[in-house]
Structure 1
């Protein structure tokens, strides 16, 4: 098995701000696995808050090169690398390679008749007026995700709701609130028809939610990086956000989805602002999700030429086999 990797920089259409961080481009690593004339592909973006970067992804890929050359299979790979962008890229490349070698698509293999997904389009942080203007500019998208911090979130929510009374809205705080702030803001969010509040508290402070009954469903993102962390935080959240870069690929994403569905949790699929090569395996997880966030390519200046098709309403076409799977 031959491993090839290369860095890809995808500039963003505009700076994109969340709590504590502003993105200007997406630094991805593309992986190809070639065996017997078939080639499987994957993309790793990494998780910035875990110091998971293009540099660390490349270093991890180089470290496992000899094992891959010797034919390391996908299941063995799970024990070789930590969760993150490198494991995600290799795991997804393995799934793609297996599909190409067998002639059996990911959908046939998993017994899924794929449905088209409707993604949110994400509004980065800005002033209330700027965010409302962005919401109006996103008129073709029926579902919006709003990035908020502790800085006057209600004014921003009210401005966006006034600009888009028709839209389904979810909120992503990226660990930016205290419990007191959540208790203050959640009733207003309920009044404004917010469908979910994602990651309100800092990672590691989830136990503060014990006994709190939020009027809006709460979602775990940074608080649940993968299957091994699920049991510790599940009781505090209604929704689990699965990101393949975070948990380490489709194999781990499917395991996390199984755990959450067993317990009756709602699911969300998210992304780290990658290209369509990141979104295609996430599309598989999206088949089980109530909330879908695979809008990464919409934020890029230029996606891959064989990328996903995004249509009015935020409807995303099923990935073509030439892209992945």
Structure 2
């Protein structure tokens, strides 16, 4: 059956500023994709991966062009003919949503995932001076967030983590090095952070330089993010990491994200499910996949100044569907 597409680009303001080692963001542009067969409509949202050269305009154009070239669209066609990235994520997830509406079945059931239950999600503390991060951690803890994710830069990281621990001494911590530890003694750095309840270190080295982790005995599990985009990457990175962070925009949709999760499980890697800055529409399929994860980082909507009216509920660090 012929599929028609419509896309729109939406700009959502960030609450304050979202700061990582690559820079600060005060807003995020997302692409909303709707696919219809004339009777039912599936809807999805994707966030362009700016550090890979994507933009909302490019993604919107790619979606419309792809649907025009493949009128008998289905997920297999998308997976086989569209490179990974935000445009494919929007197409894949909109097709999943379309199938949900056509069959009147929930996503988890169609995808063969566990029935969703509320989950603890990390809350991100942006990169900043230690005193600022300490204050932000104290505010987050006061709101009930028991799992915090810190953005680091490779400089003064110990001071930043110590400050956050002072601000939220009972919180569990994840740190995201954002590829900044290439020139550091990673095992020693991890040992310094272990005393502060850090339980996961994301992407300590640059993607493509994972060999720097060979032989490293870290007291804290190491998690691949930028080093793992698709299921084909899992075998390559498995010798160097203990876990993998799966993001739907990075993988190019729920279909490939599930393949990564199954490959990770087969390789005895733990799973983290994360997200880009996005509204609740963007993390809806990721929430279904996150039922398989040991760590969940789906705070994208919480970092915005506002969310969609039918968005997820966030209560004391717990994410659950609205209603």
* TM class, shorter-length: over 0.9
Q: Is residue 6–residue 64 contact of structure 2 (8 Å, CA) maintained in 1?
A: no
Unaligned 5+ runs, structure 2: none
2:251 aligned residue: 247
Deviations 1:232-288 (A, max 9, x none): 111100010000000100000000000001122110001111110111110011001
Higher mean C-alpha deviation, range 28-37 or range 242-251 = 28-37
| Structure 1 moving runs of 4+ over 4 Å | none
Question: 1:123 pairs with 119, 122, 125, which one?
Answer: 125
Deviations 1:74-112 (A, max 9, x none): 111112211100000110000000000011111222152
For 1:159-308, list aligned pairs within 5 A.
159-308=163-312
Separation in structure 2 between the aligned mates of residue 301 and residue 21 of structure 1, nearest angstrom: 19
Instruction: Look up the SS of the partner of 2:292 in the other structure.
Output: coil
1:141 aligned residue: 145
- In the superposition, relative to structure 1, how do residues 111 and 22 fare at CA in structure 2: closer, same or farther (>3 Å)? closer
Per-residue deviation at 1:168? 0.7
Q: Is residue 131–residue 156 contact of structure 1 (8 Å, CA) maintained in 2?
A: yes
Instruction: Look up the SS of the partner of 2:313 in the other structure.
Output: coil
Per-residue deviation at 1:179? 4.7
Unaligned 5+ runs, structure 1: 321-325
Per-residue deviation at 1:182? 2.1
1:80 aligned residue: 81
Separation in structure 2 between the aligned mates of residue 61 and residue 220 of structure 1, nearest angstrom: 28
Question: 1:317 pairs with 314, 317, 320, which one?
Answer: 320
Separation in structure 2 between the aligned mates of residue 148 and residue 111 of structure 1, nearest angstrom: 33
Separation in structure 2 between the aligned mates of residue 99 and residue 247 of structure 1, nearest angstrom: 21
Instruction: Look up the SS of the partner of 2:162 in the other structure.
Output: helix
Higher mean C-alpha deviation, range 33-42 or range 23-32 = 33-42
Instruction: Look up the SS of the partner of 2:80 in the other structure.
Output: coil
Q: Is residue 85–residue 246 contact of structure 1 (8 Å, CA) maintained in 2?
A: yes
Deviations 1:150-169 (A, max 9, x none): 22011111111111111010
Aligned residues: 318
Instruction: Look up the SS of the partner of 1:287 in the other structure.
Output: helix
Q: Is residue 33–residue 45 contact of structure 2 (8 Å, CA) maintained in 1?
A: yes
2:72 aligned residue: 71
Separation in structure 1 between the aligned mates of residue 88 and residue 159 of structure 2, nearest angstrom: 40
1:46 aligned residue: 48
Q: Does 1:89 align with 2:90?
A: yes
Instruction: Look up the SS of the partner of 1:8 in the other structure.
Output: strand
Per-residue deviation at 1:184? 3.2
Separation in structure 1 between the aligned mates of residue 207 and residue 149 of structure 2, nearest angstrom: 20
Per-residue deviation at 1:318? 3.2
Question: 1:113 pairs with 112, 115, 125, which one?
Answer: 115
Separation in structure 1 between the aligned mates of residue 171 and residue 191 of structure 2, nearest angstrom: 19
Q: Is residue 179–residue 209 contact of structure 1 (8 Å, CA) maintained in 2?
A: no
Q: Does 1:19 align with 2:21?
A: yes
User: TM (normalized to structure 2)?
Assistant: 0.95
Separation in structure 2 between the aligned mates of residue 43 and residue 234 of structure 1, nearest angstrom: 30
